[in-house]
Amino acid sequence: MSGDRMKKTPGSKEKAAVFVARKRNFTIAFLGVFAVFIISSLATGYDVAGGFAAVPKAVHWMASNFVPDEKAWSRLPNILAKLIETAFLSVAVTVCAAVCAFFFGLPGTRTLKLNPWVGRAVRIIAAFFRNVPDVVWAMLLLFSFGQNILTGFFALFFYTFGILTRTFIETVDEVSADCIEALHAAGAGDLQTVFQGILPSSMPEILSWILYMIETNIRNSTLIGILTATGIGYLFDLYYKRMDYASAGLVVLSVVLLVIAIELLSNQIRKVIL
Amino acid sequence: MSVLEFQKVSKLYNNVTQALTEVSFRVDEGEIVSVIGPSGSGKSTVLRCINRLVDVTQGSILFDGRDITRVGKKEIRQLRKKIGMIFQHYNLVNRLSVIENVLHGRLGHKSALSGAAGYFTEQEKENAFCLLERLGLTEQAYKRCDELSGGQKQRVGIARSLMQEPRLILCDEPIASLDPSSSKVIMDYLSDINKTMKITCIFNLHQVDVAMKYSGRIIGLTSGRIVFDGPPDRLSKAKIHEIYQSNEGELITDVG
Ligand SMILES: Nc1ncnc2c1ncn2[C@@H]1O[C@H](COP(=O)(O)OP(=O)(O)OP(=O)(O)O)[C@@H](O)[C@H]1O
Ligand SMILES: [Mg+2]
């Protein structure tokens, strides 16, 4: 009955057509992605079946070589020291980058209405820092700082700064728009609006992003440490090159445990603040 | 004496949307004026031009006899200090307490640093508590604003604007998100404030009956032009239909 009524409504055919078109577009997109996958597999000579077939063998090799033995356990204090160094570096980098990103991003927000040209420049600069991967930053900075903890620090800093600037701009525009308007209307200045309106209203989202970036940076700093010969990444590289796979395995295990621990901790913190 | 005067004000958004066309009217000290009109007719634009949240394209607006349409950033702050604003969605800082939100009304009167640090004088705090008492919010003073009901939030909004000691209060659909009984409470408070504190009020309202009951004058806006300006008793049914560009029986006010 309701079907009959629907048919009589003018325009219902057109509306149905929208859904048909949407479904068709979806199918086309899916086939397109599949085609790209096939073409790129052929172009790179990647053997899909072979790739998957190699997985069990790889797992077996890892299981027999990367299991920590007695010698590896004796290196644990050394590993833990480097692990803590890496964790502190990640926290320090993220906090520094977050503070810089917040204030740098403020002119980029649409709701605070600072200078529109500065705002445009801010968004472009943030996009640049964000779109250069942290590993590339590390390689570029290797030339100026050499294999040094500063290289790792700045590589992570630039990348984190780029990402956080953008997310903070979006957060402020989304979460704080209403109260920014009200404070402006009451005659508050920009500094007052930032500290009395934007910070209190966006703080949970900002903290949540900082926690997320700390997690990411612990993972990434391991990788960057291999390049810059610092932190836990250096230790992994060292053991690996000495073919001391058992110790390298312990390094990996400890990083995984640290990342899981940090993630659990930050989930707890999130629950409290949100 | 007129507090506010619009002289042939036009507003063009982004060089395409003509929101206001040669709008002229005056508001006298102590008046309650309601602006009514269909959605998109430019009601909010009228209010937001007054405190320069929006810049007019043409014409001038006199506040206290001074043209405020071309003044610089510093004078805009001076202007906004004297004009309170109340919003449909209350626009409070939800994670701060009621009293902190009320004190925000003082920010325009303070130096940048003491305002940013949230430093308020004892006198200001005392005034804030007085206002909370007057608006029946004493028990909520230390609650966070996201724990309040809509009606309570709007009363916080009123207290915040009164903290400014304004000459004029702009109310952009103050009761559009409230149930009928909280709506009445809010309108009664605002009307009382107007009478006892001699603060001029300009309302944007969707409810014609509310506008007719509470205001001394009604301005009807249709597609950015004034089509009616006069006391409520001169607003005939036919005129209402002209403002809303509707036919007999098409408006909610026609029911019953
Ligand atoms: N910031 C803006 N940018 C561009 N166009 C805008 C902007 N604000 C409003 N407009 C346009 O100006 C016209 C008037 O809008 P306004 O918000 O003043 O209407 P209104 O009468 O308050 O409507 P409502 O009753 O829905 O709140 C509308 O056509 C709207 O689309
Ligand atoms: Mg509006």
Q: Which amino acid residue places its CA nearest to atom 24 of ligand 1?
A: B39
For the stretch A229-266, pLDDT in tens is: 888 888 989 888 988 888 888 998 999 999 899 989 98
Nearest atom within ligand 1 for CA of residue B43? 21
The superfamily (CATH) of domain B1-82+168-256 is: P-loop containing nucleotide triphosphate hydrolases (3.40.50.300)
Query: Of B12, B13, B223, which is best to mutate to test ligand 1, by the most ligand atoms within 8 angstroms of its C-beta?
Result: B13
- Model pLDDT, residue A11: 58
A3-to-A7, A10, A11, A13, B6 alpha-carbon distances in Å: 6, 13, 14, 12, 54
The CATH number of the domain covering residues in A69-273: 1.10.3720.10
**Residue B236 to chain A, least CA–CA distance (Å):** 35
- Whether residue A178 lies within 8 A of chain B, CB to CB, comes out as yes
Q: Which residue, A220, A228, A223, is CA-closest to A145?
A: A228
- Model pLDDT, residue A7: 42
Structure token digits, residue B36: 């009514």
For the stretch A65-97, pLDDT in tens is: 878 888 888 888 989 999 999 899 999 999 999
Answer whether A123's CB lies under 8 Å from A101's CB: no
Structure token digits, residue B167: 């000459």
List CB-based neighbours of ion ligand 2 within 5 Å.
B 44
Answer whether B34's CB lies under 8 Å from B187's CB: no
Q: Cβ separation of A196 and B87 shorter than 8 Å?
A: no
- Model pLDDT, residue B256: 57
Could you state, in order of their start, the residue ranges of all structural domains in chain B?
1-82+168-256, 93-165
**Residue A9 to chain B, least CA–CA distance (Å):** 21
- Whether residue A183 lies within 8 A of chain B, CB to CB, comes out as yes
Q: With a cut of 50, say whether residue A3 has pLDDT above it.
A: no
Q: Cβ separation of A201 and B93 shorter than 8 Å?
A: yes
DSSP-derived secondary structure for B89-141: T----TTSBHHHHHHGGGGGGS-HHHHHTT---HHHHHHHHHHHHHTT-GGGT
HEC profile of B2-21: EEEEEEEEEEEECCCEEEEE
pLDDT tens series, chain B, 256 aa? 789 999 999 999 999 999 999 999 999 999 999 999 999 999 999 999 999 999 999 999 999 999 999 999 999 999 999 999 999 999 999 999 999 999 999 999 999 999 999 999 999 999 999 999 999 999 999 999 999 999 999 999 999 999 999 999 999 999 999 999 999 999 999 999 999 999 999 999 999 999 999 999 999 999 999 999 999 999 999 999 999 998 877 888 776 5
Structure token digits, residue A40: 């790129």
d(CA A221, CA B66): 61
Return the half-sphere exposure (C-beta side, CA atoms, 13 A cut-off) of residue A80.
5
AA identity, residue B32: I
DSSP B38: S
Could you state, in order of their start, the residue ranges of all structural domains in chain A?
2-57, 69-273
Give ipTM to 2 decimals: 0.93
Across the range A137-164, mean pLDDT stands at 90
- Whether residue B104 lies within 8 A of chain A, CB to CB, comes out as yes
DSSP-derived secondary structure for A81-139: HHHHHHHHHHHHHHHHHHHHHHHHHGGG-SSS---HHHHHHHHHHHHHHHHS-HHHHHH
